[in-house]
Every structure is written in structure tokens, then in C-alpha cells.
Amino acid sequence: MWNVLLSFSGLVALIQLLFLPFFPESPPYLLLQKGDKAGCLKAMKQLWGEGNYHTEFDDMMKEKAVTKGTKIMNVLEVLKEQSVYPQLTTMLLLLLSLQLCGLSATANLQESIIPYVSLGVAISELISVIFCSSIIDHFGRRMLLWGGYLLMALILVLLETSLLLSDQFPWMRYCSVILIFLFIIAYGIGP
């Protein structure tokens, strides 16, 4: 029944994907990244109900004023900045914990290949972090969530198919490994 358990995460992603259109963009994203004041206030009312949100709006405007002259750093500049080491350490620990999820064990590979698969999983996580951090400001979180969940659902369907066919076609096991890597990248970029 492991395949049912594996597909359960796809069901949860599908449910989240169905409800995503009913939620507005993040108010700070609308104000700070897009410069949309009216959209920000509308999103606040939609998320928090009717009320006076001038204090929160003023706080975001102050944050915008403070960060206006701040240079956006690339990945290498972030890695050189010592003040972000605690956050980077936390993020790396979370990503390394994905190694213990057992996803790579589903491919039914020879034991001698498993260390390479684990290395590939770690590289996939690194790729997703670097790629996501460089495109999140351009596309926004909502678009990345949509794309991530759609890709994850598609990859899970293909992974299930490749696992079902792996007994008939041994080369499908390697397709399963590639799909696992793609799943991790889609997860890292989206959810």
C-alpha cells in the first residue's frame, strides 16, 4: 500500500491547488514588490475582513521606505553575508531532512546505486533553492505555488506509471529516479 501513501501527497497538493484561486496575493507582496496600494488594501480586507488596517499599511509603507535604497543581493552575495548564516543553516537542515523521507527508496534500484541517488536528491534540492530564490521576485509566490503544485501532480502521475511498468521494463527504474529529482525541484520551487 506504499503507492497509495505516496499518491496521498498528490491528493493534498490537488486540494490546495483547487482552493488557491480563491485567495488573494500577499498584501506585502502587492505593496512592496508590485507597488499596488489599492490591491494591497483590497487583499487585506479579503484576508482579514472589514476593518481599519491603516496601521498595518503604514508599517508596510515604512518597510518599503527603508528597503527602497537596499540593493537586492544575488546568491553569491547572500552566501558571503554572515548575518544570514543562522537562516541559511536552518534552511539547509530542513532540506537535508528531505533525505530521510524515503522517496528515493521507491525506485527499486540496486543497492550500489542508492548513494548516487541520494547525492542526486541533494543536488536537486540545491538547484531548487537557487532557482527559486532567483525567480520568486519576478513571478511571485502565487505563480510559483500554482506551477509547483501542477508539476508535482504531473510528476506523481508519471512516477506511479513508471513504478508500475518497472517490472516489465527495467530501464523505467531510472526514469523513476529522474522523476524523483524533478519532484524535489518542483517542490522546492513551489510549495
d(CA 7, CA 94): 22
d(CA 117, CA 106): 11
**pLDDT tens, residue order, the chain (191 aa):** 667 766 777 788 888 888 888 888 888 888 877 888 888 888 888 887 887 777 888 888 888 777 776 776 777 887 888 888 887 887 777 666 555 555 555 556 667 777 777 778 778 877 887 777 777 777 777 788 788 888 888 988 898 888 888 889 888 888 888 888 888 888 887 77
pTM of the model: 0.49
Residues 23 and 52: beta-carbon distance below 8 Å: no
Provide Rg for the chain, Cα atoms.
20
According to the model, what pLDDT value does residue 88 have? 80
